[in-house]
Structures are given as structure tokens and as C-alpha cells.
């Protein structure tokens, strides 16, 4: 008797195995039961035929319900009728726990409110498990990408003082006698400090935005990967982003073909994602949108609909660079050729998935940074340590942040980022 994972059964033909898992679905034709089993590694159909020797077992199996946890024993048989090519001829079965109630999710016709209310159980379904497996692959690949390039992982703090872009859209918490503290919206400023020690650094973790955003692209708590590179400028920054995104897409194509197929992704839209990506300046983008009939003027923000139009002509993500200084954060390096714009870029995913990366070269001269902080009406005192980074061996440096759930949504072809994270925190939902 071999204890086996379902995913390994194809290599165990004719062996007697034990599988520990759950009953995903059950059908019966009177004298033959079909038990669809899952164990986290895959699905397999267990077949139990009534015969003189197993009447008690056959009768007991009738009492099982969907999501019964159970340990089964049987012989692995090749069968062309089975989806995975193999079946289990069951010889024995122990129910660990038989549910007293019906499993709430049993047909693919539930509404999204109901599914989110039952998210803790919804993730047991194949499609949701496949999405979470792809997410895992993406996170694993991100770490591998940086590790291959000798970047150092630096875990930036989740609780911060009143530093950041503006405290208005931060979650406030009480920090003992210190007073108010905030949940991090970004680890960037800390990565800037770390890259002056370690050269090339990255982080990967949750961030929080107390914005009442209510769209298919927004979560209150989302995961972000940020990178920061010393002695790197705008061009090298974009180059690294293109490599990273291409690396992720190709790794998922390579490692998760079954999962992508089961979530219904059109793979042709993910192939040939290799550097370089199409590129456009903000000014070009505005002229392009004006030709398409949008009423945007230079200096306006580019909204969701505009982003979709900009990206739709391309198979690869599009890089939009050099936005107006007034519309971007204070720390971005002005373009030496045109001080009205800054050396920054966004990367827009194809098919309307929107901004997946925001990036910039950072101001490295203290005097320029002080001037910008004052122009933006921010408090110099609260940027004390950030300014000190420019007092001790300051160098040109650049970095970016990539939204994990948006990348997962794009690669999986999801309608909404809430399925791209195990337990989404959205504007009006914090349960389960």
C-alpha cells in the first residue's frame, strides 16, 4: 500500500494506493458509484462497483455528502474515459468527517455576493484553486527573478510613521504612547535607504490604501513588489521592468499550462511577451487620445477608459513615460531636457487590465528634493531621514512598484482583482 498524491497516480498503474482528500462530487447508477476525489494536488474519479464482497462498503458510500473528508484505498487503473487518464478502483473507504449540511457551492451558477460571502469554501473549487496556484507561481517567479540578478530582499515595514505621499489615504492605528501610526502604502522610501547599502534591492508584501475605490482593479489591501536600484537611471529602470514582466509571463506559460487552460485563458494573448515593449511619452499619448476623440488636455490624468484605448493596439504591455511633474509624486526626478515632465513611467497591461507598474527615477540632490517638498506643501520635518539619504553619498537611483493582483488578473484573464487574492479586502467586505 502506497500513500499517494492524486497528481502522482499516472505513474502508479496497477499499484494499490491510499489517497487522503475530499469528496468533490458523487454520482451513482444504482450498482456503481462514481466518487470524484480531490486532494489539493489534483482530481481523480474513484469507482466503486457493487459485488458480493463489498455490499456494506457500497451501502456506506451512499451516505457520503459533497466535501466529506475521506481516506480511500484502491487500485490505479488506466482508463481512456477518465479526464486524467487514470481511475481508482476502490477497495476501501474511511470517512473522516461527513458534513451534516449541504455544501453551499455545488453548481456554477452562484452570484458574486454569495460566492464572496462563502469565499472560505469557494476556494475549494477547481477554478479558484487554479487561480491561487498561478498566483503562487507568479510570486515564486518574482523572487527568482531578483535572486538570479543578485538583488537583496529587504522587508520594508508595514507600520510606519507619518511619512509617505500624504496621510489622507492611509489607515491609522494607535501606536501606544507615540500616538498615530499608519499602515504602509508603499515601502519605496525605505527601499531607497536600503539600496544605498545593498545596491539592488526588492520587497514583496502587502500594502494598504484607505481609498474608497470601488472598481474591478482596486483592493484595499493588495500585494506589491517594489524594486530600487542604486546607480540606475530611467532607461535601465524601464529595461528591468520589461525583463521582469516577460519573465513572469513566460514562467507561468511554462509551469502552469493546465491551470491557464482551466481558467479559460486565451494563451495566444500571452505568447511573445518579450522586451522591448512599445513605448509612448505622455505627450504623445495625449495627442493620440485627442485624435481618438477624447477631451484630454496636456496635464490631465489619463483615466481607465483612456488607458484601455492606449493599450488596445498592442499585444505587449505599453510603457507610457515622462508625465507632467504636477501630476506625479514629489520625489520624481525632473527630465533635464524638459523640466515640466519627470523621468517616470507607467506600464499598462493589454486587454484593458490597466496600470500594472508605476515607476520613476528619484531625485538625488538634496536641494531639488527640498524645493519639491515645499512646492507640494509637505512638511519638511517629517522627511528628515529621507533627506539625510541625500546628504551621505547620494547617487542616481530608480525603482518601481508592481501590483501583484493586477498581474495575476491579467495573466489569468479575470474580470475582477478580488479573485486574484485568497481573501480580498474590498470597500464593503471584510468577511470572511
Partner RNA sequence: UCCAGCGUGGCUCAACUGGCAGAGCGUCCGGCUGUUAACCGGAUGGUUGGGGGUUCGAGUCCCUCCGCUGGAGCCA
Q: Find the shortest distance in angstroms from Cβ 53 to RNA.
A: 11
The yes or no reply on residue 67 touching RNA (CB under 7 A) is: no
Q: Find the shortest distance in angstroms from Cβ 274 to RNA.
A: 21
Residues 353-372 that bind RNA (CB under 7 A): 354-358
Task: Yes or no: say if 412 and 214 are a contact pair by the CB < 8 Å rule.
Answer: no
The yes or no reply on residue 213 touching RNA (CB under 7 A) is: yes
The yes or no reply on residue 51 touching RNA (CB under 7 A) is: yes
Report the DSSP pairing between strands 2-3 and 86-97.
Answer: unpaired
Integer-rounded Cα radius of gyration of the chain: 26
Task: Yes or no: say if 319 and 357 are a contact pair by the CB < 8 Å rule.
Answer: no
Nearer residue to RNA within complex by CB, 137 or 306: 306
Query: Which of the ranges 121-129, 249-257, 368-376, 403-411 carries the binding residues for RNA, by CB under 7 A?
Result: 403-411
Encoded one letter per residue, x for contact with RNA by CB under 7 A and - for no contact, window 13-42 reads ------------x-xxxxxx-x--------
C-alpha cell at 116: 464572496
Query: Which of the ranges 12-20, 270-278, 286-294, 423-431 carries the binding residues for RNA, by CB under 7 A?
Result: 423-431
Residues 98-157 that bind RNA (CB under 7 A): 102, 104, 106-114, 116
The yes or no reply on residue 399 touching RNA (CB under 7 A) is: no
The yes or no reply on residue 350 touching RNA (CB under 7 A) is: no
The yes or no reply on residue 311 touching RNA (CB under 7 A) is: no
C-alpha cell at 227: 524594486
Nearer residue to RNA within complex by CB, 66 or 163: 66
The yes or no reply on residue 209 touching RNA (CB under 7 A) is: yes
What residues pair up with 342 in beta bridges, in sequence order?
Answer: 334
Q: Find the shortest distance in angstroms from Cβ 352 to RNA.
A: 9
Among 127, 216, 269, 366, binds RNA (CB under 7 A): 216
C-alpha cell at 222: 493588495
Nearer residue to RNA within complex by CB, 137 or 419: 419
Q: Find the shortest distance in angstroms from Cβ 127 to RNA.
A: 12
Q: Find the shortest distance in angstroms from Cβ 305 to RNA.
A: 6
Among 59, 94, 211, 365, binds RNA (CB under 7 A): 211
Nearer residue to RNA within complex by CB, 3 or 212: 212
Nearer residue to RNA within complex by CB, 117 or 255: 117
The yes or no reply on residue 81 touching RNA (CB under 7 A) is: yes
Nearer residue to RNA within complex by CB, 101 or 291: 101
The yes or no reply on residue 291 touching RNA (CB under 7 A) is: no
Is omega for the bond preceding 276 within 30 degrees of 0, making it cis?
A: yes
Among 402, 408, 411, 414, binds RNA (CB under 7 A): 402
The yes or no reply on residue 75 touching RNA (CB under 7 A) is: no
Give the phi and the psi of residue 142 in degrees, each rounded to 5. Answer: -60, -45
Nearer residue to RNA within complex by CB, 43 or 255: 43
Q: How far is CA 29 from the centre of its chain?
A: 43
C-alpha cell at 17: 494506493
The yes or no reply on residue 65 touching RNA (CB under 7 A) is: yes
Nearer residue to RNA within complex by CB, 83 or 157: 83
The yes or no reply on residue 241 touching RNA (CB under 7 A) is: no
Site residues, RNA (CB under 7 A) = 25, 27-32, 34, 45, 47, 49-51, 65-66, 79, 81-83, 87, 102, 104, 106-114, 116, 169, 186, 209, 211-220, 222, 224, 301, 303-305, 307, 327, 346, 354-358, 401-403, 405-406, 416-417, 426-429
Amino acid at each position: 500500500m502506497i500513500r499517494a498524491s492524486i497528481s502522482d497516480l499516472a505513474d502508479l498503474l496497477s499499484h494499490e494506493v491510499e489517497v487522503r482528500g475530499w469528496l468533490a462530487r458523487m454520482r451513482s447508477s444504482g450498482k456503481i458509484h462514481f466518487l470524484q476525489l480531490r486532494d489539493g494536488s489534483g482530481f481523480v474519479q474513484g469507482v466503486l462497483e457493487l459485488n458480493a464482497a463489498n455490499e456494506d462498503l457500497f451501502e456506506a458510500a451512499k451516505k457520503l455528502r459533497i466535501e466529506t473528508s475521506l481516506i480511500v484505498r484502491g487500485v490505479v487503473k488506466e482508463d481512456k474515459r477518465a479526464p486524467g487518464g487514470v481511475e481508482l478502483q476502490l477497495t476501501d473507504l474511511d470517512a473522516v468527517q461527513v458534513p451534516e449540511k449541504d455544501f453551499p457551492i455545488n453548481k456554477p451558477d452562484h452570484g458574486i455576493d454569495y460566492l464572496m460571502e462563502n469565499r472560505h469554501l469557494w476556494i475549494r473549487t477547481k477554478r479558484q484553486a487554479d487561480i491561487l496556484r498561478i498566483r503562487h507561481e507568479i510570486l515564486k517567479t518574482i523572487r527568482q527573478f531578483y535572486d538570479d540578478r543578485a538583488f537583496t530582499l529587504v522587508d520594508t515595514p508595514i507600520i510606519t510613521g507619518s511619512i509617505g505621499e500624504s496621510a489622507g489615504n492611509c489607515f491609522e492605528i494607535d501606536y501606544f504612547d507615540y500616538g498615530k501610526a499608519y499602515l504602509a502604502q508603499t515601502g519605496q522610501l525605505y527601499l531607497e535607504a536600503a539600496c544605498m547599502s545593498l545596491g539592488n534591492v526588492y520587497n514583496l508584501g502587502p500594502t494598504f490604501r484607505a481609498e474608497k475605490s470601488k472598481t474591478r482593479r482596486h483592493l484595499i489591501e493588495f500585494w506589491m513588489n517594489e524594486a530600487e536600484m542604486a546607480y540606475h537611471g530611467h532607461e535601465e529602470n524601464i529595461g528591468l521592468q520589461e525583463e521582469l514582466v516577460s519573465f513572469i509571463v513566460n514562467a507561468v506559460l511554462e509551469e502552469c499550462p493546465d491551470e491557464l487552460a482551466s481558467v479559460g485563458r486565451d494563451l495566444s494573448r500571452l505568447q511573445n511577451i518579450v522586451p522591448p515593449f512599445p513605448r509612448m511619452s505622455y505627450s504623445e499619448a495625449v495627442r493620440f487620445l485627442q485624435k481618438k476623440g477624447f477631451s484630454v488636455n496636456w496635464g490631465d490624468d489619463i483615466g481607465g477608459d483612456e488607458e484601455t484605448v492606449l493599450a488596445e493596439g498592442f499585444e505587449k504591455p505599453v510603457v507610457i513615460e515622462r508625465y507632467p511633474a504636477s501630476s506625479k509624486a514629489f520625489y520624481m526626478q525632473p527630465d533635464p531636457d524638459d523640466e515640466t515632465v519627470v523621468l517616470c513611467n507607467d506600464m499598462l497591461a493589454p486587454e484593458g487590465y490597466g496600470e500594472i507598474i508605476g515607476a520613476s527615477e528619484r531625485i538625488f540632490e538634496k536641494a531639488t528634493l527640498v524645493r519639491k517638498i515645499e512646492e507640494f506643501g509637505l512638511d519638511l520635518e517629517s522627511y528628515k531621514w529621507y533627506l539625510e539619504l541625500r546628504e551621505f553619498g547620494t547617487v542616481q537611483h530608480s525603482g518601481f512598484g508592481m501590483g501583484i493582483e493586477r498581474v495575476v488578473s491579467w495573466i489569468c484573464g479575470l474580470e475582477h482583482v478580488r479573485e486574484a487574492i485568497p481573501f480580498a479586502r474590498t470597500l464593503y467586505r471584510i468577511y470572511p
